[in-house]
Each structure stands twice: as structure tokens, then as C-alpha cells.
Amino acid sequence: MGDFSRVETVEAAKQNHEYTQALTDLLFQLADDDFILAYRGSEWLGLAPHIEEDVAFSSMSQDMMGHAVMFYEMLEQLGVGKADDLAQLRAADAFRNAILVERKNGEGDYNNDPHYDWAYAIVRSYVYGLHKQVRLEALLQSSYVPLTLVSRKMLTEHRYHLMHWQVWLKQLANSTPEARQRLEAAIEKVWKDAGELSQLGPNADSIARYGLIAAEDELKQKWLTLAQENFEKVGLVWPGEPGVPAERGRHGQHTAELVQALATLSEVYRIDPAASW
């Protein structure tokens, strides 16, 4: 069985099938979360409330996409498949992202009559960002050493992203009645899904047992404590325990909105996946 408390390399990880399986499942959750939300961010391009924000938002989506690429490449190194294929050729039921990240930005298509909801963009990015911060910090202690290294790298970028969304939250919470109302409606919507973020899916037990990341409850308590502190600080009503969506994203159950997103993001690649692009 061997000691899996500190796994330095891909080869070492592959010594144990159960370990590899747990690691693979976790990496898909990490990669798919960042990938799909970065895609949603890229749909906002050119539509943000002002040009400065367009530049900032786009830069953060790009960083997030970069993080997804790092996770997909780790999967590639584990022999799961080519990173581009993993990102673009899997069916929706092979995706392990939380439902929160796949929800569309609002009504309409990104290129055809979009009516996007900026309040939802802020709250989703903030909640996701806060959870991601907690998750990356937990990954610093992961038994899989390559994962600790990429997490450290991502954290340096991610702190600025989170700060950005915190500023937005504070500003909108203390501005006009309309903004406040929109913000509260967005919080309510995000809260219906947010409880799923810290779930680790069907392999949760072995993911925790192998010390790949902290247990679900610990992750959940950490981000909720931080969120509650911040909500109080900016003067927002604490919405309490977050809910979970009907679909279980970590188990491969998804909405039609993900199916649509995957069709769009892989449209060109699917013309000929064997070709060089």
C-alpha cells in the first residue's frame, strides 16, 4: 500500500489506483470550476459597466482560465487524456464543476441581444473567489506535492481578484437603493447554489483520507465564516446556511446551460480535433 502522505511525482501517485482515482476526480473539480467560470467571464467581454472594469474583469477571467489549464495539464500528466480534449471533448456528464459556475450570466446569448446581470456577476465571482481562496490554501497542505506548488502560484494572483470583488460588494451595498436591491436579489440567487462549492463528490471520503485536500465540512465552515464577517463589515444581511442545487454537479449532473456552454466553447475545435489549431 505504501505511504501516500507525501506524493512527490506523477509516477509515485500512479503506484496506487485508488489514490490516482481520488486525485483525478479532485483535479477535474478544480479544473472544471475554473474553466467554466472563466468561460462565463469571457462572455462578458465588451459588456461590463465601464471600460476599466471590462479590462479588469477580462484580465481576471484570463488568469482563471490559466489556472484551469494548469489543472488540465496535471490531468494530462497523469495520463487521463490530452488537456485540450479534456476541456473540449467531454460530454456534460463528465464535467465535475459546481452548478453555480455554469449558470448563464443573464438572458440572451453573449453575442446576440445579451441582457446580463452585473449584480449576479459580482456576487457569484465574490462567493466563488472566497471559496477558491479557502480551497487553494487547503491545497497548500495537499499530499500531492505538484498540487501544493500550483496552488501557491495561483494564490498570489487570486488574492487580487478576491479583493476586486470585495470592493465591488462594498460599493454596491453602500450606494443606491436600486443597487442594494439588485445585490440582495443576486445574493439570494447565488445562495441557492453556493452550498455545493465545497462538496467533493462521490470520492469525497478517499479524497479526504488521502490528504489531497481538507474535508468538505472544514472547507465549508472556513469560507462561510469569512463570508459572514465580510457581509457584516459591509452592512449586508447574512443569508445564513447556503443551499444546494437540484443537480449534483460533482456527480456529473448538469443543467442545459452547461450543455449549451460546452457546445459554444468547443465549436471550432470540434470541426477537426485531430487538426492543429
User: Which residues are near another protein by CB under 8 A?
Assistant: 39, 42-43, 45-52, 54-55, 58-59, 61-62, 65-66, 68-69, 72, 83-84, 87, 110-111, 113-116, 118, 171-172, 174-176, 178-179, 182, 264-265, 267-269, 271-272, 275-277
Angle at 252 between CA 249 and CA 258, to 5 degrees: 70
Nearest approach in angstroms of CB 204 to another protein is 28
Minimum distance between the CB of residue 147 and another protein, rounded to whole angstroms?
A: 19
Closer Cβ to another protein, 140 or 167, answer by number: 167
Separation between Cα atoms, residue 145 and residue 136, nearest integer Å: 13
Q: Given the complex with another protein, which of 240 and 277 has the nearer CB atom?
A: 277
Least spacing, CB of residue 219 vs another protein, in Å: 27
CB of 201 to another protein, least distance (A): 23
Measured from the CB of residue 115, what is the shortest distance to another protein in angstroms?
6
| Distance in Å, CB of 234 to another protein, minimum | 11
**Residue 1 or 271: which CB sits closer to another protein?**
271
C-beta of 33 vs 196, nearer to another protein: 33
